[in-house]
Structure formats: structure tokens, C-alpha cells
Structure 1
Amino acid sequence: MATYEIFAQPELRRYRSNVFTKATLLMLVIFVLTFIPPLFVVYRSYGFWLKEAYYREWPDVTFKREMIVILELQDPGEYVTYSTYQKYNKLQEDRLRVPVIKAREVDINGDGRYDKLLLDIEMPLQDSENVIGVKLLTVYYYRLKKFSSFFMESLGYIEHFSPQAGAKLEIFGDIQLRQKEPLGHKGVDKRYNETLINTTSSFVETYELSTIFSRYLERNVTTQIGDQYKVWMSGRAQGKPFVITATVNYSEQVILYTPGFWYLIKWGWVQYVSVLVLFVFAFERIKVFIFQNQLVLTTVVSPYDQKKLG
């Protein structure tokens, strides 16, 4: 009569030995070779310790109502200007023009955080003054809160030149974070929470853009107005001001930061275990081969012998 397998059960065999034997030494070597090499493999692959990581956050940005605007005129070396700094305005004398400024920050989704700045500047000009270039520096208060609480005063800069005299410049852009080093994962970071322009100074050099940018770029974290789209319109009518309209979006940012201890452990453990599994599988097969073929001397105890001993 034909038969078939109805049930299967593995047989457990125990290999016993004294402490000071080749079998014990072999097991110690296999243990070391199973757990230590994966550590070196992962470490040498430069993926074990995650030194930097990224996260996304909507920054809390506020326009400080501070600016410097310079209009370059068609005559060489001539310009008109205005700023919200009283000392700067006194230094400019005949080149000073007092514009009409309208600034409004909008919270589109009602989450209590501003999403964009709408800025409108109407600079009065004489009919003989033709504008061929615009420089606009704006000042913001910039905050991050998701991991470390980061605070700073930051800048946004817009510049445009045209060979044709203009009547209006429209700008659309996003305020973007720039990092030379990662931020921390916790704590309060106020190292750049300081005034960038010394408003009490009466020296022209203090308010020059080159001086401001030179000091600003010494920081490891700054902002800029990126993804700029500009529309230059010509044909200014007599008696009309030169108009600048800017729409600056406070968009979500990708932040570089240094992970904390537990995040490092979690990441390192995943990398280590993924390699360890392969070593465990390989050395389990090696141990079965060695002890089944008695390449080292041990005492084999089968399930039948265990019942007799019991």
C-alpha cells in the first residue's frame, strides 16, 4: 500500500562539550565573527551614524517694516533713494525721495501665521528723471520652532536693471532659507537675533549695501528672495511716480539639522540589523555543517537519549 507524509516534526540534537575545548573556542570565534563584522561593514559604508538630516517646516516670518530702496537713474552715477532709517535719509540730502508705501501681510489659510507679503512703493520723480535700475532691501524677523527654537533678523534683496527707462517693476518670489551648517535638534538658538543695520550710526558706510551684505554673509544661516519673476514696464507718464510692487511668499522650507541621540540610535540599529541578519544566517549554516560532521569533538545528545536521561 502506498504511504504519504501526514506530519513532520524537527528533531532537536544537542551538542555538549566542556568549557576548555576546541568546540567552545569555535563557538566564541563564530559569535565574534557574527556580531562584530556587521558593525564595521555598516560603519565603512558611511551610513551608520546619520550626522545630518532634513525636515520640513513652515517658518514664522514677519516683515519688520524696514527697508532701503534705491532707484538708479539714466544719467551716470545718479540715483534717488529712501529708507526707513532716519540717519540714512539725512545723509542723502537732495537724492532723498519720500514714497508712498503700502505693506500688508496675508494669512491665507487662517492658521495664525502669515503666508505672504504684499508690498507697494510709489516713488515720486521729476519728469526729467528716468529709472533704469532698482535695488530693494527688506528686513524680516524669521523664526523656526519645530525642533530647535531658532530666531533671527534676516534680509531679502531684489535687484533689476534694464536698458530702457521704466515706469513700474513687479516682483514675485519666495523668501528662502540658506544654510552653511545644520541647526540643532533642540534648545533655543538666538545667535543671529541681532540688528543687522546700526540705525544710530551717522556714517555713510554703515548703510552701503556692500557693508550690509559683507556682515550678513558672515552668518551660517541667512535668507534670500529666490525664484524671482520680474515684470519691467516702461512708459512713465509725466507727473507719475515710479511704482514697485512685490509679492513675497513665506513658503515651506527644507531645514538641515543635526539629529539627536535617540534618532541616531534608531537609524544605526536599523542599518546594523539589516547586515547582521545575513551574517547570522551564514554562520548558522556553518555551525550546522561543523557539528553534524563532527569537525570538532562534542557529545551528541538526541531526543531519545534525553528521554532516557530524564
Structure 2
Amino acid sequence: MVLYRVFQEAATKKYFSTVFSKATIFQVVVYCLMIILPFFIAYATNDFWHYTSSYQEQPRVQYLSQLVIRVGSAQNTTVWSSFSPDVTLAGRELEPNITFNETDRDGDDLTDFFRMTVSFNNLGHDVQTIQMLLFFQVDLNRFGFLEQFSRVTLQSVTYTSESWAVPASGVWLGGELELTQNAPLPASGTVNQYNESPVNSSGTESVDIADILSRYNERNVRVTWNNQYPIWSDEASNNFSIQVELRYPPFTVIYQPNFWQYLKFAWVQYLAVFVVFWWVLSYTQSFVFENQVIMTIRKQTEKWHSD
């Protein structure tokens, strides 16, 4: 009768020794190395603990119809502020004609583009420099799977200052809003301590542009006007217009991960190193005991399975 193999099982070798012996000490050292060394190597190669992480979110931005502006030259200046008399500006005050609109270009029910036109008529002087502050309400509220990230609500101010060598009749200003942080946000909760105007609201004293920006820059979370592209019209005129076009791209939010996020990234790195040490030290154990480098009592058990 012809026999064929239907199953096989390796022979089991068992090694015995007393509790206080070289073999026991060797095993304890091997297991300690197998567990501890991967941790130190993974930690020493940096980024074992992810102290910060980030995500992108499309902000909800709304222009607050608040504006501070100064236009002029070295000899004459015209100013206007929607905060008067809380904001002090040096120069002749003249209210401009202002039109603006916010649009949603990608159809996600969040505005992502802002256009404004500011026109001064009958200025009576040349314009070579401008300073402008625009005020926005910004909200961030992202939900993740089974978790919610920090909800951020703040009133922000964007600033631009541009100058030109010759008198001009207007300037076009492009750019985009960007989130700036001095420190990471918490993993969850509400950040609303900046949901107030950087302009002094007490009414007891007035402030100027420098005061507003100084107070605003002390905030951990703020929105700034970046990637500015000024284009001046080289033609002197008694009128002056400013056209502003701002994009609202997704913000990159930096936050401090919670415990489970720490553990998730650390565990992957530890396991990757642990597998290597487990293979090397397991081979070392097999070599030491099979060749009786350390004396033990060996017993072998064989199991045979047939049809």
C-alpha cells in the first residue's frame, strides 16, 4: 500500500534548568533586551512621540464690515476708520465709497473668495503709500471619526502696507488668508478667548494702528494676510481706488495629539524595531541551547500523524 503524507509537525525540543542558573539568567537578559532595546532605539531615532500633529480645514470666514485705512504721501494723508473715535489716525478724515462681496467658488457652502473696492474722491493730494486693516470673523470646527477636534472662534485683523515711487491713481492687492500659531492647539475643546476685537472696546482711550497690531500679535492663534501682490497704476489723479482680492484657502491647524494618538504612532515604530530584535534574539536562543553553549537538560518530543 502506498503511503502519502497528509500532515507534519516539527519535533519539540524542551530545555530545562534550575531557577538559579546561567540558563535562567541568559533567558532573562534576552527577554529584557528584546523588550527594552527596541524602545530605546525607536526613541533615539526621533519622532517616537508625536508632540504635534496637523490637519487641514476650510475655515468659515466672514468679513465684519470693519476697516481702517490710511492713504497719502510724505506731505499729505487721508484716513478713515469704521471704529472712530476709538481709533486715532493722523491725517485728514474722508469717508470712502466701499463695496465688497464674498463668494463660494467651489460650492461647499463656505465662502472662499473676497473682493472689495475702496474709492476716495476729491482727495486733493497725491497717493504713494497705503496702510489698511481688514477685520474678519473666523471659525474652525472639524469633526473626525469618533472624535471632535478643537473648535476655534476668533476675530482676526489682516494688515497690508504698500508704497510706490510715483503718485498713482489706484492699486490692486491680491493675496490669501493664512492661519498663524505660536503654539499648538489642544486636541479637543473650545478656543474662544480670541473672539474679541483687537481694537480697544472699553471706549476710555483711543488706539492707533501700531497698538492694534501689537495687541493682535500677542495672540497664540491669528489670521494674517500673506502672499500679497500689489499692482499700482502709474497715473496721478485726484481720485484713488483700492481693489482687494483675497482667497480663503484651507488652513493648516497644528494641534497637540491626545494619549491614543501618541500611542498609535509610538506603537507602530516600536513594533517595527521589535520584530528585528525578536528574530535576531530568537535565533541566538536557538543557537545557544541547541549547541549547549549553556548547559541544560534537553528533552525531545515527536508526534507523528498518519492517515
Instruction: Please name the residue that 1:39 is paired with.
Output: 39
Contact 1:38–1:272 under 8 Å retained in 2: yes
Higher helix share: 1
**Structure 1 unaligned regions, length at least 5:** 1-6
Instruction: Please name the residue that 2:245 is paired with.
Output: 247
Cα shift at 1:224: 1.1
Q: Taking structure 1 as reference, are residues 281 and 92 closer, same or farther at Cα in structure 2, changes over 3 Å only?
A: closer
Supply the distance in 1 between the matched residues of 2:281 and 2:22 (Cα, whole angstroms).
17
String of CA shifts for 1:20-63, please: whole Å, max 9, x gaps. Answer: 33222221111111101111122222222110112111111111
1:30 maps to a residue whose letter is: V
Say yes or no: does 1:115 pair with 2:112: yes
Say yes or no: does 1:72 pair with 2:72: yes
Q: How does 1:208-247 map to 2 (within 5 A)?
A: 208-237=208-237, 241-247=239-245
Say yes or no: does 1:175 pair with 2:161: no
Q: Pick the aligned partner of 1:186 from 176, 185, 188.
A: 188
Q: How does 1:116-131 map to 2 (within 5 A)?
A: 116-126=113-123, 128-131=124-127
Q: Pick the aligned partner of 2:157 from 155, 158, 173.
A: 155
Say how many residue pairs are matched: 294
**Identity between Structure 1 and Structure 2 (%):** 26
Q: Taking structure 1 as reference, are residues 168 and 29 closer, same or farther at Cα in structure 2, changes over 3 Å only?
A: same
Supply the distance in 1 between the matched residues of 2:263 and 2:89 (Cα, whole angstroms).
59
Return 215-224 or 267-276, whichever deviates more. Answer: 215-224
Contact 1:87–1:199 under 8 Å retained in 2: no
Instruction: Please name the residue that 1:276 is paired with.
Output: 274
Instruction: Please name the residue that 1:86 is paired with.
Output: 84
TM-score (norm 2): 0.89
Supply the distance in 2 between the matched residues of 1:33 and 1:92 (Cα, whole angstroms).
70
Give SS of 2:166's match.
Answer: strand
Q: Taking structure 1 as reference, are residues 18 and 93 closer, same or farther at Cα in structure 2, changes over 3 Å only?
A: closer
Cα shift at 1:94: 7.4
Say yes or no: does 1:293 pair with 2:291: yes
Cα shift at 1:300: 1.5
Contact 2:57–2:253 under 8 Å retained in 1: yes
Q: How does 1:253-268 map to 2 (within 5 A)?
A: 253-268=251-266
Say yes or no: does 1:133 pair with 2:135: no
